[in-house]
Amino acid sequence: MTEPTAGSAMPAAPHGPFRPGDRVQLTDPKGRVNTVTLQPGKLYHSHKGAIPHDEIIGSPEGSVFRSTGGTEYLAFRPLLADYALRMPRGAAVVYPKDAAQIVTMADIFPGARVVEAGAGSGALTCWLLRAVGEHGMVSSYERREDFAGIARTNVETYFGGPHPAWRLTVGSLEDALTDTDVDRVVLDMLAPWECVDAVAKALVPGGLVCAYVATTTQLSRVVETLREHGAFAEPYAFETLLRSWHVEGLAVRPDHRMVGHTGFLATARRLADGVRPPVRRRRPAKGAQTGETTEIPETPEPPAPLD
């Protein structure tokens, strides 16, 4: 079942004073966050008192409001990272640190034609749609109809309605994919190696596939499948760790908690039809039994950081 949303008007980016219907994050002095949807005549209630929604409506972002109990709350619209971590979930959401790496390392650009499988809870879909813009296209495939429904609700809630660059299909990628001349494919699924043939047929030469998996066994299998397929250049596999810091006066140290392992990423470029990559050469490790130079695939170096 395919349900395109083309022709819908995408809402403008939120800006200006708070309006009825806006989602607002109210943060107390201890950093605890509560999200409310503004409605005229309503009250935000907590054990620290109430704040009238009418007092917030019309005020600029970054304003401070005092509850009837005397507690001050700082008000901002949620960022997409905030929304993704607090959205209703079917499948687990892609963490913002991984979504940022996918958008960057998969080189998602304005106007890109992107295939996503699966849609999950819609968190990554929101990041992809913001990256491709109104003139791109994100085609999401989700096997489970209940997950597809949750993803649709979350995406349309965030954007304020159907997004003109999004098409959601309920079905497996390998069976339902009809897209051709695709620029990028993002695989967030249990067994991405099952889709490599379909991905190779859909991608343009120079296009890129990015797989997001949770375990080392999944990572190994998808990388080896991409290597053996013959239509892709040498894959690059990596993960990212995020550690925040406590900074207060002279007390500057890493926080006790960090967002450690959430998933692995593997990317690979599509070769031109009929082309095989040159074999990468490297010297054997010290202690090897032969002095001959071996011809085995070598993991490419990550991009050099910008000065």
Cross-strand bridge partners of residue 75: 26, 63
Using alpha carbons only, give the angle 153, 157, 158 rounded to the nearest 5 degrees: 125
Q: Is 82 annotated as a binding residue?
A: no
Q: What angle do CA 19, 25, 26 make, to 5 degrees?
A: 105
Is the sign of the CA dihedral 136, 204, 97, 166 positive or negative? positive
- Say how many Å lie between the first and final Cα of the chain, rounded: 48
Two tokens at 96? 């913002």
Ordered strands of the 63-66 beta sheet: 33-37, 23-27, 72-76, 63-66
The reply, when asked if residue 122 is annotated as ligand binding, is: yes
The reply to whether 69 sits in an annotated binding site is no
CA 218/CA 211 separation, integer angstroms: 10
Tokens matching residue 169 = 């299909």
The tokens for 99 are 């979504």
CB atoms within 10 A of CB 185: 29
Q: Phi and psi of 164, rounded to 5°?
A: -65, -15
Rounded Cα gap, residues 297 and 193, in angstroms: 19
- Comparing CA positions, the residue from 76, 79, 84, 77 lying closest to residue 155 is 84
123 annotated ligand binder: yes
Record the tokens describing residue 241, joined without a space. 């760790």
* 206: Cβ contacts below 8 Å, ≥ 6 apart: 269, 270
DSSP-based three-state secondary structure for 116? strand
Question: Which tokens in the block code for residue 113?
Answer: 């034609």
Residues in the annotated binding site: 121-124, 142, 188
Residues in the annotated binding site for S-adenosyl-L-methionine: 121-124, 142, 188
